[in-house]
Amino acid sequence: MPSTQLKRAVISSYLGSVIEFYDFLLYATASALVFNKVFFSSLDPVAGTIASFGTFASGYLARPIGGIIFGHFGDRLGRKRMLIITMIMMGVASALIGVLPTYAQIGVWAPVLLVTLRVLQGIALGGEWGGAVLMSAEHATSRRGLWAGFTNAGGPSGQLLSTVAMSSTAAIVGAEAFLSWGWRIPFLLSVVLLGVGLFVRAKVTETPVFMQARPKAGEAAPIVEVFRRHPGNLARAIGVGFAAFVAQATLTTFVIAYAVQAGFERPTVLNALTISSAGAVIGVLAFASLSDRIGRRPVVAAGAIMMAVVAFLLFPLINSGSFVLLTLAVVLGQSIAHPAMFGPLAALYSELFGTRTRYTGASLGYQISATGAGLAPVLFASLSSTFTISLIVAACCLLTVVTIYATRETSREELGVMADR
């Protein structure tokens, strides 16, 4: 049975991840459905969609900055303190988006402020993920893949919550009111989630692994040590995760806009995404647990191969016009293939770095690879060929397969008090 502190750490990490990804991915749904009309109304529809996805991308580009800042202080001062700060940052930024004036009200300042708040969201999430993973991984004495995987399960859980919030609001207030003011409600709910998350997080103690390996005076900054001693592991972390993020953005952001343009109603697309997000929560935990049994490498590689196949099925199934086939497409991708790639990453990233650089190294590798999720929708929105999009996704999956087999198997290694390797 897990210890009391491990339970608290896992629950805290999961809930924190749910809240952070609710806020971060709520923006993704809004960028596909609303922001091109509210904040970029002076542009034609195609340019407005590209601009909207561009602001979406800015959050992903800011995530490595958060990883560096909070990774540094997390490795020096502790994991818990940084997690309190990142949660407050994300909740406040999201609530402010909910009260932001539109382009019609304040002109160009509306998209400028939107991008600013999106960057703050990215910095917050860039610092959140690494700390949340380590709170679980460093408290765990066994089944590290499963316990750390709860943080990654927070991603699709947050996606599910944000999609339900958006679709429910749209259904209750109607399409016209939703575009006018209803879209703000899910963002304002961030304040409530923030209060719940801070209450839970305050009860978790600092990890024993960090307490036993406190940094000494005169040591080089963690970011310097990562680049000096672990450039290979950092490069592997980026390569292993890149396809998972490209696939995530394709399935949860670009596909929404594409399916609506293909003739599906917005609520219909959101319903399909809700079903696949619920399946993804189970999938992430199942594949994370499986990686404890058979290793991280075979699970991630199998997921990447499956995702490459799904990439070529995705758009023909959507173009069929059938809700059943639309749902099948996103379930195959988001509930099965993507979780196999994504589920084991939480444990894998924490195992690639020693204790005194782990927050920085894991965060930086994860967040740099996550830029693929920010850039993919922008690139794909400018392409006219869905076959080209499928080829790009498949090529990214091939990169993951090659990189994961260039990475040593780490599932049997102890984190403990170890020198940075």
Contact of 111 with 103, CB cutoff 8 Å: yes
Q: Is residue 211 part of a domain?
A: no
| In a domain? residue 412 | no
Q: Map tokens 């650089």 to a residue.
A: 357
Is position 345 within any domain? yes
Per-residue model confidence as pLDDT tens digits over 155-187: 889 888 888 888 888 888 887 888 888 888 988
In a domain, 320, yes or no: yes
Sign of the C-alpha dihedral computed for residues 323, 326, 332 and 333 taken in this order: negative
What does the alpha-carbon distance between residue 32 and residue 94 come to, in Å, rounded to a whole number?
17
Supply the pLDDT for residue 96: 93
Q: Mind listing the pLDDT tens digit for each residue in 223-254?
A: 888 888 888 999 999 999 999 999 988 888 78
* Segments forming the whole domain that contains residue 230: 4-206+219-404
Number of structural domains, the chain? Answer: 1
Predicted confidence (pLDDT) at residue 372 exceeds the cutoff of 90: no
Report the alpha-carbon distance of residue 151 to residue 130 in Å, rounded: 9
3-17, 86-100, 267-281 — which is least confidently predicted? 3-17
pLDDT at 417: 45
Going from the C-alpha of 200 to that of each of 16, 37, 88, 94, 192, the distances in angstroms are 9, 37, 13, 20, 13
At 324 the pLDDT is 94
pLDDT in tens, 279-316: 999 999 999 999 999 999 999 999 999 999 999 999 99
* Range among 22-36, 68-82, 110-124, 298-312 with highest mean pLDDT value: 298-312
Nearest to 16 by CA among 210, 196, 286: 196
Exposure class string for 239-270: b at 16+ Cβ within 10 A, else e: bbbbbbbbbbbbbbbbbbbbbbeeebebebbb
Of residues 405 and 217, the one with the higher pLDDT is 405
Q: Over 70: is that where the pLDDT of 43 sits?
A: no
- 182 occurs within a structural domain: yes
Q: Looking at residue 43, which CATH number applies to its domain? A: 1.20.1250.20
Asked whether residue 156 is assigned to any structural domain, the reply reads yes
Average pLDDT over the chain, rounded to an integer:
86
End-to-end CA distance of the chain: 31
- What pLDDT digit, counting tens, does each position of 31-40 carry? 767 777 777 6
Residue 307 CB neighbour total at 10 angstroms: 29
Percent of the chain with pLDDT over 70: 92
Helix residue ranges per DSSP H, 382-415: 386-404
Higher pLDDT, 342 or 376: 342
The verdict on residue 171 lying in a domain is yes
For helices 144-173 and 109-137, the axis angle rounded to 10 degrees is 150
Q: Is residue 373 assigned to a domain? A: yes
Alpha carbon distance 334, 299 (integer Å): 15
Q: Give the confidence band of 419 by pLDDT, cuts at 50, 70, 90.
A: very low
